[in-house]
Structure formats: C-alpha cells, structure tokens
Amino acid sequence: MQTGLHDYIGAMAKKPDSKNYKVVAENRRARYDFEIQEDLEVGIILHGSEVKSLRVGQSNIADSYASVDNGELWLTNAYIAPYEQAMFSHEPRAKRKLLVKSRELARMWNATKREGMTLVPLVMYFNDRGLVKLKIAIAKGKKNHDKRASDAKRDWSRQKQRILKNHD
C-alpha cells in the first residue's frame, strides 16, 4: 500500500498540545443573553502585576463589555484581582486598552454605532505562546422570548440525547 503526501498533511497540520494555553476567565452567560454574530481574538495591554494575577487565575469578565472610544477599543469593568506580592499594584476594575487591527476596529465601530450591536467579552486566556488574549463577540441582545426559545431548544436536545442513549 502506497501512501501519498496528502496522508501526511493531516498529521502535520495538527496543532500541538500546548502547556501554555489556559483559560483564565469565561463569560458563560454571554451566549444566553446575546445572539453571537461573530467573534474575534484581540490582544490586551496589561501591567506586570495584572499578568501575574491572571496566572494565579483571579479574574472575572462576566460584567464587562468592550467599546470603541476615540478610535480605540477598550475593555471596561473587567475584574483582575490585585497581586499581593507586587510592589506596584494595579486598580482591579481599570479600563484596559484592547489591541486590534484598524480594519477590524472600523467594522466594530460600524456594528456598534450604526447597527446597534454590542461588543461582549467571551473568554480571556493565555494562548499557546503564553500571551493574554481576549475573545470578544459582536452580538445582539436577546429578548425574553428568544431566551425561552433557546432554553426549549437546549432542553429538547438534552432529552433527545437521553432517549438515544437509553435506546442503545
């Protein structure tokens, strides 16, 4: 049996399991409260004590949001706990600048100002290179009847899985 080049490409394209990848904070409620249109990975400017605090895992992005102000993207109301051993501590709920390409920034500004969308942080994590990244979503808020419909859909899929599991 001969193997071709295409047999090896799948094995080479696999992303290596990284020890550096670690989820720091997750906004679990975002997918319930908002209809996600698109998500995007952005960088974040942090001080040294903030990064050390994130490595320990003391943060919360559940109440935070992103906004475009004066041509820059900002993360507001994200909580990063003060690092106890730091000589110069940081403010836990400071506005933090997000790093994004200008084309993406223009698209986000257009979505928020003209189309009435919201920029919602989904997850903060250390990527495979050990850098702090934030995944934000361009989203539209759900009404109560939309939330009930998504609840019903989720419940039905769970019930369907139970039926299929018990049937086997």
Which residues, other chains included, contact 56 with Cβ-Cβ below 8 Å and sequence gap of 6+?
81, 83
Distance CA 90, CA 115 (A): 35
Q: What is the mean pLDDT of the chain?
A: 82
Distance CA 100, CA 43 (A): 7
- Given a cut of 60, whether residue 83 has pLDDT beyond it is yes
Which residues, other chains included, contact 15 with Cβ-Cβ below 8 Å and sequence gap of 6+?
128
The pTM of the full predicted model, rounded to 2 decimals, is 0.72
Distance CA 152, CA 145 (A): 11
Closest by CA to 104, choosing from 62, 72, 78, is 72
Sign of the torsion angle spanned by Cα atoms 97, 99, 105, 108: negative
Topology of the domain covering 22-142 = Small Protein B; Chain: A; (2.40.280)
| For residues 128-149, average pLDDT | 84
Q: What is the pLDDT of residues 23-69, one digit of tens each?
A: 888 888 888 788 888 889 999 998 888 888 888 888 888 888 888 88
φ and ψ of 30, to 5 deg: -60, -45
Closest by CA to 139, choosing from 41, 33, 64, is 33
Which residues, other chains included, contact 98 with Cβ-Cβ below 8 Å and sequence gap of 6+?
42, 43, 44, 45, 66, 73, 74, 75, 134, 136
| For residues 138-147, average pLDDT | 78
